[in-house]
């Protein structure tokens, strides 16, 4: 059987994403569903596959096409309905399914969509589907290498069970005043259901699902997207606020003073409780994370591990090392301590709430208890998907020839006397990502200048507005 190849740019390191109507079509979705079910059927005949979708305008058509493809490959499709990606992950465990597929564009613009996939925990290939497995799906589609069968589909709602599971281990020792901003994304209904069961004051913002994202883009790593939440927290005298990305696997946090608690700072704070329960345990963070996090894990008696950026890559490393906690600068945070080891922004929020409620410190004081280095946000600038990895490799070779102290865990991270800088290629967008950190503002200027000089030496131009 011959097939039609997917657009080469949509096969990413840890998921599939494209622009609807340009690089990704409904027919592609049907092929992806059939290919994923065919690959799963090689391990188990007539596999049971959970299927969910987010709140994007294109998602209902895409999920229907995926279902058609899975049925044509002989799968039993369990429709969990609309909701956040972590609810799909939960469903695979809760329903003891063989695999799961989520139709989601995550935090990408409204005209994008895509697919995140996982194998069930009993599978020899259990965990996220990423890397070579995604490329293999592309080859299977191009070759038309599909299983044929008479599958089925049935509704398998898990919303209530998911909310119960999120709250099962959460005991708030004192009521807190909290703002919640799902950004009109797929967590809107789950956030509302959880908030309704919490004590204290719960203030909901943008809590209806709307795939046009009318109030702000659902990406909590961008400060502009957090301004509405900051205004609510400070204007109403709340203790803290939480924001979530479009499909709910990432989190942003605002303290009572309106300051952002970044992903790596949040992991450092969460590690305090986790390492009390698991002394000496490994805790994993991605290469973009502050040195403060790695130093704090060591100070607490844990084993700091720097690893590649990417939710699938982190989850796989976490399972390999049996780490109870892991996190990324981007707000993907993963609990295996009393949870499943996947990234769930709402569960992380509840764990942090419980930790705050167990003490007397204000959230702002917890943030200030960590060292406060000078650093840049993520500096993301355009670079064609066909060139971005080659440019990073060219920079790596140049730096090594110059005798720099380089880590190539993911891109290049260069350690200097008073700080470090990073350049890596995004796995989800046609951009390069840079970041700098130093012990103070003067040192940060020197670190940034060193980075700019190194980039220019290999023909990479950092945009003028990012030069400081």
Final residue belonging to a domain, choices 299, 334, 368: 368
The helix-helix angle for 26-41 and 59-72 (nearest 10°) equals 40
Final residue belonging to a domain, choices 368, 386, 406: 368
Q: What is the CATH number of the domain that holds 380?
A: 3.30.310.50
Final residue belonging to a domain, choices 368, 403, 424: 368
**264, HSE (Cβ side, Cα atoms, 13 Å):** 26
Give the pLDDT of the chain (468 residues) as one tens digit per residue. Answer: 456 899 988 998 889 999 999 999 999 999 999 999 999 999 999 999 999 999 999 999 999 999 999 999 999 999 999 999 999 999 999 999 999 999 999 999 999 999 999 999 989 889 999 999 999 999 999 999 999 999 999 999 999 999 999 999 999 999 999 999 999 999 999 999 999 999 999 999 999 999 999 999 999 989 999 999 999 999 999 999 999 999 999 999 999 999 999 999 999 999 999 999 999 999 999 999 999 999 999 999 999 999 999 888 999 999 999 999 999 998 999 999 999 999 999 999 999 999 999 999 999 999 999 999 999 988 999 999 889 999 999 999 999 999 999 999 999 999 999 999 999 998 777 899 999 999 999 999 999 999 999 999 999 989 988 887
Q: In this structure, are 242 and 289 located in the same domain? A: yes
Angle CA 242–331–253, to nearest 5: 25
Q: In this structure, are 65 and 202 located in the same domain? A: no
**Which of 310, 116, 80, 106 has the alpha carbon at shortest distance from 213?**
106
Exposure string for 273-310, b = 16+ CB within 10 A, e = fewer: bbbeebeebbbbbbbbbbbbbbebbeebebebbbbbbb
Question: Coil, strand or helix: which one is 52?
Answer: strand
Is residue 402 assigned to a domain? yes
Q: What are phi and psi of 44, to 5 degrees?
A: -150, 125
Q: Where are the alpha helices (DSSP H) in 376-440?
A: 388-401
Q: In this structure, are 188 and 275 located in the same domain? A: yes
**Which of 254, 249, 290 has the alpha carbon at shortest distance from 378?**
290
Query: With 0-12 CB in 10 A as exposed, 13-18 as middle and 19+ as buried, what is 342?
Result: buried
Q: What is the pairing mode between strands 112-119 and 16-19?
A: antiparallel
Is residue 1 assigned to a domain? no
C-alpha to C-alpha distance for 84 and 193, rounded to whole angstroms:
13
Number of separate helices (H) and strands (E) present in the chain = 14, 22
Q: What are phi and psi of 243, to 5 degrees?
A: -125, 155
Query: With 0-12 CB in 10 A as exposed, 13-18 as middle and 19+ as buried, what is 417?
Result: exposed
Catalytic residue annotation: 106
Question: Coil, strand or helix: which one is 314?
Answer: helix
Domain tally, the chain: 3
Residue span of the structural domain in which 395 resides = 374-466
The residues pairing with 431 across neighbouring beta strands, listed in sequence order, are 382
């Amino acid at each position: 059987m011959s097939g039609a190849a997917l657009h080469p740019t949509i096969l990413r390191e840890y998921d599939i994403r494209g622009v609807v109507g340009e690089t990704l079509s409904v027919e592609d979705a049907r092929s992806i569903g059939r290919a994923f079910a065919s690959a799963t059927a090689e391990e188990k005949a007539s596999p049971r596959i959970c299927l969910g979708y987010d709140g994007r305008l294109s998602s209902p058509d895409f999920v229907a096409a995926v279902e058609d493809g899975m049925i044509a490959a002989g799968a039993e499709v369990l429709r969990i309905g609309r909701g956040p990606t972590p609810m799909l992950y939960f469903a695979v465990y809760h329903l003891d399914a063989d695999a799961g597929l989520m139709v989601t564009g995550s935090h990408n613009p409204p005209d994008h969509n895509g697919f995140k996939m996982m194998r069930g925990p009993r599978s020899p290939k259990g965990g996220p589907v990423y890397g070579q497995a995604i490329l293999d799906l592309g080859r299977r589609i191009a070759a038309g290498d599909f299983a044929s069968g008479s599958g089925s589909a049935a509704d398998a709602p898990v919303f209530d069970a998911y909310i119960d599971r999120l709250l099962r281990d959460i005991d708030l020792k004192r009521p807190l005043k909290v703002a919640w901003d799902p950004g009109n994304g797929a967590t809107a209904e789950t956030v509302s259901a959880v908030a309704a069961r919490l004590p204290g004051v719960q203030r909901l913002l943008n809590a209806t699902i709307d795939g046009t994202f009318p109030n702000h883009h659902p990406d909590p790593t961008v400060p502009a997207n957090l301004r509405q939440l900051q205004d609510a927290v400070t204007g109403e005298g709340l203790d803290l606020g939480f924001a979530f990305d479009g499909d709910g696997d990432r989190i942003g946090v605002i303290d009572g003073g309106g300051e952002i608690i970044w992903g790596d700072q949040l992991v450092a704070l969460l590690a305090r409780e986790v390492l009390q329960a698991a002394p000496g345990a490994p805790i994993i963070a991605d290469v973009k994370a502050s040195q403060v996090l790695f130093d704090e894990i060591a100070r607490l008696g844990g084993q700091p591990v720097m690893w590649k950026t990417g939710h699938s890559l982190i989850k796989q490393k976490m399972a390999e090392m049996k780490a109870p906690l892991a996190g990324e600068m981007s707000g993907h945070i993963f609990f295996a301590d009393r949870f499943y080891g996947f990234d769930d922004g709402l569960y992380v929020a509840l764990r942090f709430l419980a930790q705050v409620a167990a003490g007397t410190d204000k959230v702002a004081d917890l943030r200030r208890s960590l060292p406060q280095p000078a650093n840049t946000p993520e500096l993301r600038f355009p670079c064609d998907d066909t060139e971005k990895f080659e440019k990073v490799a060219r920079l790596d070779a140049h730096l090594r020839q110059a005798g720099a102290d380089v880590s190539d865990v993911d891109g290049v991270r260069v350690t200097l006397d008073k700080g470090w800088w990073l350049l890596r290629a995004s796995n989800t967008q046609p951009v390069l990502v840079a970041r700098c950190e130093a012990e103070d503002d003067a040192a940060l200027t020197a670190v940034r200048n060193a980075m700019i000089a190194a980039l220019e030496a290999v023909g990479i131009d950092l945009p003028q507005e990012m030069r400081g």
